[in-house]
Structure 1
Amino acid sequence: MRDDHETLTRLLSAVRYEVIPTATVESRVRDTVPSDVTVTVTASPTKGLEPTLDVAERLAAAGYPVVPHVAARLITGEPQLAGIVERLVGAGVSDVFVPAGDADPPLGPYDAALPVLTALSSLGNPFPRVGITGYPESHPSIEDDITIQSMWDKRRHATYIVSNLCFDPRVIARWVARVRRRQVSLPLYLGLAGPIDRAKLLSVATKIGVGESTRFVTRHPSWFARLAVPGGYTPDALLRNVVRALRSQDVSLTGLHIFTFNQLAETERWRQDLLARYTH
Structure 2
Amino acid sequence: MSARPTPYPERPAQAPVTGGGLAELLRRVRYEVLPAKATEDKVLAHVPADVPVTVTASPAKGIGPTLDLATRLAGHGYRVVPHLPARQITDAGHLTDVVDRLVAAGIEDVFVPAGDADPPAGAYDAALPVLRRLGELGSPFAHVGITGYPESHPLIPDEVAVRAMSEKQPHATYIVSNLCFDPATLRQWLVRVRGRQITLPVHVGVAGPVERAKLLSMATKIGVGESAKFLTRHPSWFLRFAAPGGYSPERLLRRAAPGFGAPESAVAGLHLFTFNQIAETERWRRAMLDRTGG
Provide the TM-score with structure 2 as the length reference: 0.91
Identify if the C-alpha distance between structure 1 residues 241 and 112 changes in structure 2 by more than 3 Å, giving closer, same or farther: same
* Alignment counterpart, residue 183 of structure 1, candidates 197, 200, 209: 197
Tell me the residue number matched to 1:64: 78
**Partner SS, residue 170 of structure 2:** coil
Contact 1:67/1:96, CA 8 A, preserved across alignment: yes
Deviation at 1:25, TM superposition (A): 0.2
1:80-109 Cα shifts (integer Å, max 9, x gaps): 000000000000100000011100000011
Tell me the residue number matched to 2:223: 209
In the comparison of the two structures, how many residue pairs are matched? 278
Deviation at 1:149, TM superposition (A): 0.3
Contact 1:169/1:245, CA 8 A, preserved across alignment: no
Deviation at 1:232, TM superposition (A): 6.3
Identify if the C-alpha distance between structure 1 residues 54 and 249 changes in structure 2 by more than 3 Å, giving closer, same or farther: closer
Tell me the residue number matched to 2:45: 31
Deviation at 1:233, TM superposition (A): 3.3
The CA distance in 2 between the partners of 1:182 and 1:38, in whole Å, is 29
* Alignment counterpart, residue 16 of structure 1, candidates 11, 19, 30: 30
Tell me the residue number matched to 1:74: 88
1:199 aligns with 2:245: no
The CA distance in 1 between the partners of 2:243 and 2:271, in whole Å, is 22
Q: Which amino acid aligns with 1:132?
A: I
Deviation at 1:230, TM superposition (A): 1.9
Q: Which amino acid aligns with 2:208?
A: G
1:256 aligns with 2:270: yes
The CA distance in 1 between the partners of 2:265 and 2:51, in whole Å, is 25
1:225-258 Cα shifts (integer Å, max 9, x gaps): 1112225632011111112455789634110000
**Partner SS, residue 156 of structure 1:** helix
Identify if the C-alpha distance between structure 1 residues 246 and 64 changes in structure 2 by more than 3 Å, giving closer, same or farther: closer
Q: Which has the higher contact order (CA 8 A, sep 6+)?
A: 2
Unaligned runs of 5+ in 1: none
* Alignment counterpart, residue 111 of structure 1, candidates 109, 119, 125: 125
Provide the TM-score with structure 1 as the length reference: 0.95
| 1:48-59 superposed matches below 5 A | 48-59=62-73
| 1:83-98 superposed matches below 5 A | 83-98=97-112
Tell me the residue number matched to 1:131: 145
Percent of residue pairs identical: 60
Contact 2:83/2:112, CA 8 A, preserved across alignment: yes
1:98-129 Cα shifts (integer Å, max 9, x gaps): 01110000001110111100110110000000
Contact 1:133/1:162, CA 8 A, preserved across alignment: yes
